[in-house]
Amino acid sequence: MGTMNHYETDLIEVRESAGKGLGVFAKVNIPRGTRVLSELPLLDLGHDNSKNLRPHDILNAFELLPRERQSFYLSLHSCSTDSFARVVEHEMKKDWIDIPEVQRTIFSIYAANAFGTVFLRGSRFNHSCLPNTHFSFNRSIEQETLDCVRDITAGEELTIMYPDVTNRSRSQRQKELDKWGFTCTCPACEDTPEGKKKELKRIELQKLDRELGVQVLIGTDMSFRQALRIAQEMAAQQESEGLAIRALAISYYNAAKFCLELKDTKMALLWAEKQLEVDLWCVGDDHPDTQNELKVVNWLRNAAIDSEYDECVAKWYHLADMSKEPCEVINTR
């Protein structure tokens, strides 16, 4: 677009990232838990409806943009996989090559940049399997937010994890990332002795994740004790890898839940407090999830003081949705 002024803030700037095109970099030292960006959608498609989008919805949303914002949109990186093109062909009743070039560009930009919808500055953040920043759609303010999950030094690139690939092997992670048209070269994916050590830990996390699912299905006191051990081990592995993202918060959540199943309120409180701490880094204190978690922590504190088991809190842990927010592209993934 000829200038990066639209991307720059007091904390971050957009500039060339070696081998990645453009990236987002810290202008100053940024403490963990700092919100570096809060942004309304560039292409307003309705975050809750993103799974049901059709190509015509994308075209219509683009046509409704003012000309300047259309120019911003067209300045973004574009990439479309064969599977994405096949979906568009089916919906448009045309071969990809017969679709007007400008429409193919609009679709390809959406495919490469959609996080539910498309965000102008958020689209400039590159991927890492060891991210230092977390992105989330905050329903309370109807904006995409990006918060630092560890201290970041001036000049360091800020990265996010595009799909949730925390507990997956390198080959599985890359298969997901192929949809964006690049090969990940982050420290967890590099072919070095250190990279291979990290890969072994990811394979172990995947194994533990599967074991956890089995123990939950069994649903006995013995299986809950085993599930608690697995959740604790997963959290320890994630901590050691510097994965202070919502996957770690979910491990803490699981540990708290299994403690409640075993009616150990004091230990449940310990894990719930750790979950809240990580989620405050990831999504901030204005996110509905952290507000609910704070209520639960307060309930648990009162229950722990009274040495009581709180059925209401236990029920919340069964009903709470701790699923993460994947990047969605018109039903192609």
Q: What are the pLDDT digits (tens) for 198-220?
A: 999 999 999 999 999 888 888 78
More confident residue, 147 or 115: 147
Q: What is the mean pLDDT of residues 25-32?
A: 97
Phi, psi of 321 (to 5 degrees): -100, 105
Q: How far is CA 38 from CA 18, 143, 147, 268, 314, in A?
A: 26, 6, 9, 32, 33
Q: What is the mean pLDDT of residues 236-247?
A: 93
Task: Give 172-206 pLDDT, tens digit per residue.
Answer: 999 999 888 889 999 999 999 999 999 999 999 99
Res 6 pLDDT > 70: no
Give the β-pairing of 133-138 and 143-148. antiparallel
Q: Which domains does the chain have, with CATH numbers?
A: 12-180 (2.170.270.10), 193-319 (1.25.40.10)
CA geometry: angle 314, 216, 212, nearest 5 deg: 115
Query: Between the ranges 74-78, 179-183, 282-286, 295-299, where is the mean pLDDT highest?
Result: 282-286
Tell me how crowded residue 196 is: count the other CB atoms within 10 A of its CB: 11
Judge whether 255 and 235 are in contact, CB under 8 Å. Answer: yes
- Report the phi/psi class of residue 2: left, alpha or beta, with left for phi > 0 and alpha for psi in -120 to 50: left
Q: What is the mean pLDDT of residues 130-158?
A: 95
Q: Each residue of 272-286: b (16+ CB within 10 Å) or e?
A: bbbbbbbbbbbbbee
Q: Which two tokens stand for residue 217?
A: 């299905």
